[in-house]
Amino acid sequence: MATSTCPYCHQSVKAIDEICENCGIVLTSPIFISSQTTTPTSTQATCPHCREPIKASEEICENCGMVLQPAGALSTTDLPTAVMQEQCPRCQEPRRPNKKFCARCGYRFGEADVGSTQAQPVVQNRTAPLLGRVLNSRYKVNQTIGEGGMGSVYLAEDLILKRQVVIKALLSDDDPDLVAQSVKEREFLAAIKHSNIVSIYDFITENKRGYIVMEHVHGKTLEQIMEEQGKPFEAADAIRYILGILPAFSYLAKLQLVYCDFKPQNVMLEKLKDGTQIVKLIDLGTVIKYERRPRDVYGTHGFYALEAVRAPSPETDLYTICRTLAYLVSAMDLADPVFGMPPSEHYKAFRDYPALYRLLCKGTHTQPARRFHSAEDLADQLAGVLRQIEGGTASVPINSHLFVSSVLTTTGKLGLRGEAALDEKDKAIVPLRSGDQALRSGNLQRALELYQKALTVNSKSIDALARCAEVLVEQEDYINALTMITRLQQLVPGHWKVA
């Protein structure tokens, strides 16, 4: 199973630890995992969270998503008697040898370790109050705007350039060299320049602390907006936000960078001075350089892909984006399921927009090879889904290379819909066009004959199979319609046209 290391001090931690016992950083949000593995055993085990059976070689529980405790990790039964008698005075968690912090609540043990009951809460010692202070003779700290496992966040004023900035504390430690190393490891972020990504202005160290200075984005996160409105986003709005942020992921992929922790909390809708809005990634603290087996990776429970525990990549970022979109339109329970998609009947948005559901199923497929492999590919299909959704609204134009302009079918069992454009490269394009003309005139039988003729020309025509299925549904021939849909699913699983 996977061993875990603290992203700051790089000491070993148990996967179930909430606090690093060496440096005191909070580990639970976001989750971080290292890919180093130990020799699996044949012992049958159960997940410590949901108690479901797991294999000894599994690194994450497929039922609840919990990162499993590393094999051979030190448990309380392994500790010497004298050490086990020493407990944290706050939560009574047994202390392990030579550890400075309690793994459960974060209390910092005093210098007189053995038998001492004196401890200080790590939350009060990780970062000293900065309000009113001027860092690096330039940044005046005015307000605390957040604090999490990856560091405290402050709103400050740049006294030289006269602008507001955001300052994030990277690490507080007794070792200045460790602080300098932490800052050095993040300096590659300054090279990221994209309109949909928050800008990095500066890296500074002061005393025993490191800080990152970032652009202040004026707006609200998608999570905040969703909480304020008290319901999920309309599907079209959520899709537009995701389409707006996908160019940032295309850019990161070209730089061989992995974002790792995309979620509604990390994307902000910024209102510009001209009244327009733009979506931005606002937290680069979890960005890593892509490598096959990275030392530390990050993610949030319910959003990351199963294989991201071992090998995060630009493609696992796309999985996380699809899970985020699914949550934005449904507010679904991220623990049911932890991976993939719930049944469509459980949430209204998935029932109302089957093409969107199909796309999300493809994007979160259990087999990585069957997902999207580039941000451009995801954007192209997602734009098609958006056009289909908006094309089902009266008076909304649907001009697109994916949809036929001003074509709406208003009668029949399928109701109002936007008509997906034919693939002009299809060998059966001629009978397909004729079939569409017959369909628009209401001659279903003639349309079906022409679509079937198209299949004799090209048996793998996505458009011919889809059109046949639609007509057969109109004719209430559900058995043959299902046959066509099944062939489509086998031919192009997860394609947005397969609805």
Annotated binding residues, as ranges?
Answer: 168
Helix (H) or strand (E) holding 488: helix 478-491
3-state helix, strand, coil in the chain (%, to 5): 35, 20, 45
Residue 323 contacts residue 332 (beta carbons within 8 Å): no
Nearest to 196 by CA among 286, 266, 275: 266
Q: What is the DSSP letter of 44?
A: -
One-letter amino acid identity for 103? A
- 162 Rama sector, left if φ>0, alpha if ψ -120 to 50, beta otherwise: left
* Numbered residues of the known binding site for ATP: 168
Query: What are the CA-CA distances from residue 471 to residues 97, 267, 437, 484 (Å)?
Result: 71, 42, 13, 11
* Long-range own/partner contacts, residues 221-230 (CB < 8 A, 24 or more apart): 221/264, 221/265, 221/266, 221/267, 221/268, 221/269, 221/282, 222/264, 222/265, 222/267, 222/268, 222/269, 222/328, 223/263, 223/264, 223/265, 225/269, 226/264, 226/328, 226/331
Catalytic (active site) residue 261: yes
Residue 422 contacts residue 439 (beta carbons within 8 Å): no
For the record, the structure tokens of 305 come out as: 């892909």
SS3 121: strand
120-154 as b/e, with b when 16 or more CB fall inside 10 Å? Answer: eebeeebbeebeeeebeebbebeeeeebebbbbbb
Which residue stretches of 403-443 are H helix?
429-440
| Cα 200 from Cα 263, distance rounded (Å) | 20
Strands of 162-321 (E only): list them.
163-172, 200-206, 209-215, 219-221, 257-258, 267-271, 277-281, 288-289, 297-299
One-letter amino acid identity for 350? F
Phi then psi for residue 294, to 5 deg, are: -70, 155
Catalytic residue (one of 261, 283, 426, 463): 261
Phi then psi for residue 141, to 5 deg, are: -80, 120
For the record, the structure tokens of 352 come out as: 């109302």
Say how many C-beta atoms besides its own lie within 10 A of residue 422's C-beta. 20
SS3 123: helix
Nearest to 473 by CA among 462, 461, 485, 463: 485
Say how many C-beta atoms besides its own lie within 10 A of residue 75's C-beta. 11
State the catalytic residues. Answer: 261
